[in-house]
Structure 1
């Protein structure tokens, strides 16, 4: 009997891309719950609603599952961060403090969510077996958002809301002002963190 029939859980007609995404999502959920060593492919298959052989049809082994599941989640987090930063497009016409604070709070929500925390933990936890994974996650999340933010900050410079500066460095400083406090005060009020971060940033980079 084929693997697609044997589970009874796979939706009829589900396409290959959709099945692969379900597998990656299921793998991420299981790895976040159990860690790499304790997770098993059978549990991942159940979580994804597919047969175990279907998992291997899409990804060759547990190592590939781990790497690709974490990277796929990192891509989602990076995309959400870029979408938030894009809201600064209209900041040139209004109050930059208000716009930066709104973006800062949404970025904090993105960084503090359960999925983002799990990505960071999973990327760091298995550094010995996946030495390149932390760098890949950083490229897909922090560096991607920094690049987008630098572009948005350039518009604020042109509008006269910020002084002329090294935009990549300014973006890095802005993000550090948000993510740094989360490491020490993960339960801090996000509105307070956003307000404080923008205040310090504008003191440094205001015109």
Structure 2
């Protein structure tokens, strides 16, 4: 991490630019040091501003941490909902289409830099500072789960799935497609592309063993249900 002793020597920046610089620096410092190990002086140095500027904009370390988590959650949500827009509402091959969707979701949401940042902070700080993640739970996973549940409910209505509780199905789907990514991520490792695809296929097949229709519907009946 670079050390900056004279932030006032930097070219003038707008108020918005300084706020963004502080958020970006806070994300880097919290990621590297954790909540307990980070301090305002570190973040101010990383952002190239005075410590008073950090206090003036965010009050204290806890409020800055919440702001960092909030901004990253918004970015993650934006990507998640973009991918949810590609959900296979009219699948031609349900398993293949769900595998492709899961790969897009993990590549763009779970395994990107923001997703890794949140996962590491939650693993290291969640139990010690649950209050810092209260808004993340409702504004992040809560919204994504609900949106995915609605899509699974639509597939069930169309006859593709046998789902009693779409909310549980959505959470279990996400848990399954992430399961084999968790352990490597804890050690800073990344699955190979081949293993990534294989783990996703296994997850989707497991999900369909639990929720796939045993009898199914004729294609024309599914089409009628989807148009209703």
**Shared fold (TM-score greater than 0.5)?**
yes
TM-score, normalised relative to structure 2: 0.74
Give the Cα separation in 1 of the matches to 2:86 and 2:11.
39
Give the structure, 1 or 2, with the largest relative contact order (CA under 8 Å, sep 6 or more): 1
Contact 2:25 2:47 in 1 (8 A): yes
Structure 1 position 154, deviation (Å): 2.3
Q: Gaps (5+ residues) in structure 2?
A: 1-6, 214-228
After superposition, the Cα gap between the structure-2 partners of 1:142 and 1:98, relative to the gap in structure 1 and judged at 3 Å, is same
Q: Which has the larger radius of gyration?
A: 2
Aligned twin of 1:140:
139
Deviations 1:24-44 (A, max 9, x none): 121011111122233232332
Contact 1:31 1:39 in 2 (8 A): yes
Aligned twin of 1:183:
182
Aligned twin of 1:7:
8
Aligned twin of 1:130:
129
Deviations 1:170-193 (A, max 9, x none): 111101112222223444422112
TM-score, normalised relative to structure 1: 0.81
Contact 2:22 2:44 in 1 (8 A): yes
Q: Gaps (5+ residues) in structure 1?
A: 1-5
Give the Cα separation in 1 of the matches to 2:111 and 2:51.
33
Give the Cα separation in 2 of the matches to 1:154 and 1:134.
28
Give the Cα separation in 1 of the matches to 2:163 and 2:127.
42
Aligned twin of 1:56:
55
Structure 1 position 102, deviation (Å): 1.6
Contact 1:123 1:133 in 2 (8 A): no
* Higher mean displacement: 164-173 or 70-79: 70-79
1:203 is the counterpart of 2:209: yes
Deviations 1:50-98 (A, max 9, x none): 333222221111221122212322332233223222211x531533323
Contact 2:69 2:118 in 1 (8 A): yes
Q: How many residue pairs get matched?
A: 200
Give the Cα separation in 1 of the matches to 2:28 and 2:148.
30
